[in-house]
Structure formats: structure tokens, C-alpha cells
Structure 1
């Protein structure tokens, strides 16, 4: 158990990161990149990865790469993170716990601080394949737009939050290439991120500048993830970047706790991409371009066979809230029931 006394002072940004992980209720660790050295681990993550008190005292002896059963893929991903090409990496992986047992987990790595050639990242764990709801107890999705694209980077579908996030309506973005929206200086990183996502069948995260309708550049975080069994289609999510470099002040720990929560929320929101492969393109059904990311997720879960109670539980919503979202979807696409909605979507 952690002490309930006063929080020890944090004299450096890295020490603040250690303290934030130690205090967190999330299953999270702090990793040094590119070495892969474990610097801190929360109680929840220690339980999942079977670190007892004795092993936690010798934490520096453990390496994140040594814990993964396919270290080469992860090593290359961390090298891209260290180079600044990627801002994060997420994948379903098999880990070897501190006691030698194999643990299946979904891990999302996100850079939070850099010092020269060394980066420091939070790794947020979910305890089982597909268990997107285990990283935190409540869900408040960040503003994001989500959609899918083909392997030529052309957008097939995107949620209505595109107007808020990138200053363009969803129907304006249909068949537009992300390469035409990203700043020329960020295009190479975007291509390398796509290649890494396809090669590893994993999610990658990068920071980039994207063009709004008026030609101004907006800094956004882009998550890319392959959809389905092949690597010809990708889900993506764009969220505004509001984070600043860590400061040496008394508010640093509170800022880091908020950032950890936001990372967990973004990771969970990105889970909606897994079901987007079954959705029709927005050009095929009138009204689909008016759906929000949350409405897309609810509909994609319906298409996968989930019923309202299961959807509500998975998304940390009340059943009434799910039904209200569905009623709004019915009006947008011109149907009157779940049965009519599924018939419409499956006919395309």
C-alpha cells in the first residue's frame, strides 16, 4: 500500500513522472526510450505483471523489451519513438511477467517528456485482449474525429466532429488523402507511421500539423490502426493537442495526473476503430456523414451483434443514453428501428 502522508517533492521532470506513476490508479508504468528500462510501475500494473515488493525494489533490473515475447517489433517501434517519428505505439502483446508467466495485455505507450536523445513514456495496460474498459473506471471521451481510410491514405468515412477538430465537414473529406492535409514537413513521418502500423498489425500515434479549410495549420495527434485481417484499410483518430512541456513548478504532479487520465481516455476512445471496418462508406448512405464518433461506435457495436445492455456496459453509458444516441442515428439516416438500421447498413 502507498503511504497516505505528504507527497515527496519532485526536483526534476523525470522524478515527477515517477511519482505520477506511483500514485496512479491506472495500470501504468514509466519506460525510458530507447533503452526500454522500467523506471516506475503503479500498483495495478505491478499486480498484472506480477511484481511483488521485492521485485519492485529492483525495478531498474527489468527491461520492457525483455518482457515482450516478440521484442524485435517493439524495439523498432521504440527506436521510431526515440527518433521523434512516432509519439506513441499500441498493440496487443504477450508479456512475460516478473515471475516468468505469460500475460496477454493491450499496451499503449505515449511519450510525455524528452531530454536530448532520451524519451520518457507512460505505458498504459489493459489486462486482456479486447478489454478496452479496464484502464479506468469512468469514460469521458476527448473531442476527436474518427474514421477509416484505404492504403493510399484516402478517407472513406469520418465522424461529424471533423468540423471541430480539423475545420472541415465530414463530406468534404471523402476521398481526400491525409497526405494532402498534413504539413509537407510531417509527410515522411506519416508514411513511416503507416508502414509501421501495417508491418506490426498495431496502432501507432504521431503528432503532426494538418490543414484547416482556411489554410491554417493545426497541431493534432493522429492514431492509425489496421482494420480487419489485411493491411489495406486503416482506422484513424484525430484529437487536438493541448499539452505543453513539463514545467518545474508545484503543479507538475497534478498536470501529469490529468495527462495520464487523458491518455487512458484517448486509448479507450481509439478502441472504436476496431469495429469501423464493418461500416459502409459515408457516400453510400445519406446521413452517415452527420454521425458523431460515439454514434459510429454504437452502430459498429450493433453490427458486431452486441445488444443495448452490452453496449452500455462496454462504453460506460446508461442504457437510456445508448437508446437516445440510437434514436438520433435513426433520424439522421431515415429509419425507425434497430432492425431497419441493421438492414440498411448490411444491404450496402
Structure 2
């Protein structure tokens, strides 16, 4: 039986080392075919190495893991992408699902759980850590929202619309981070995702789109 070809994408060298060691211990069934430290790098390596599974961090320098997932699957839809991250908030989970990721695992997962998840994703299964699974059950167990309420840019998450509204109001990224009590890196990642979803070239075009849609009121 052929080994599962795994590509690791994470900007933390210690975490990459731990993953590599874990996978090397499973050398009879798994093979590390490359490591990437950014979204741009993993997108390039995915096309070159043709892995079966990519272990993808959500937050990386430059292109974030969500957008990298979207681009990779547009070019090679057969690849299974397993998000491996510290973030378990609803926005990150559902953004990963919308991008096409097959699974979402927290970085605190045990080695055996990680191996099982990689194996499952390689077979086309949808894999979620117990914490994430409980979140999904809780989310889908909520009563539906008022169907009469519509929002501009339905492709954006609630947080992304909030940030886009602040951009339209003239807030800078540091000001948005301070107002929403988020890290500057998280805001940059959100802004990058917003631009990608709206297919705009930059901040000025995003502001025009937002103001045309009426996103100028306080959130």
C-alpha cells in the first residue's frame, strides 16, 4: 500500500519539527513531502509535490491558511486539507469549511488523534476534533435566524462585515485592532480575506463597495 504523502504548512519551526517527528515515526504509512512557512509557499509546494494531505495552519505570514486552502483546492481539488491550529472560534472553523478544508484539528491534539485525522482526510472523510465537533453541533442546533433579515455581502462572516464597516468609516488596521480587541495580525488576516472574497484590489475599492452597500453605520 502506498504511503500517505503529507505537506506541512506552519510558520512555527518548533511545531513543524514536532509534526515531522510524529510523521517520521509512522514511516511505513506516511511520508513528509515538504514543509512551508507561509501561504504563498504552501500554494507553490502543493502544485510541485502533489501531496495527499496538507496540514495547514490558519494564521501564517502574508497569505493566510484559509485563502491558501481556497487557491490550492481550485487548482488541485483532490488534495485533502486538514486545518491544524490554535483557533477554535466559529468564524475560523466555518471559514475553513467554506474554503473546502476536510477537517479541523486543534494543535493540542494527541499524536494518535492527529495520525487518525490525517488518515481519515486522505480517505475523503470529514474530520473534526471533539471540541470543534461540539461547536458544530451547538451551532446547527440553534434556532434559525429571522429569514427576513438580509445582509450585504453574504459571503462575509459577521466579524468580516464588522471590520469592513470600520474600514468604510476610515479606520486603519491598528485602530480596528484596538477597537475590536484583536491582534494586529488577526486584523490583517481578516482584511486580506475580505479583499479576496470581494475580489477587490485594495482598500480604496473595498471602501467604495462597502459604502455603496450602506456599510457606514456603527456596528
TM-score by length of 2: 0.32
Q: Which has the higher helix share?
A: 2
Larger radius of gyration: 1
Q: Which has the higher strand share?
A: 1
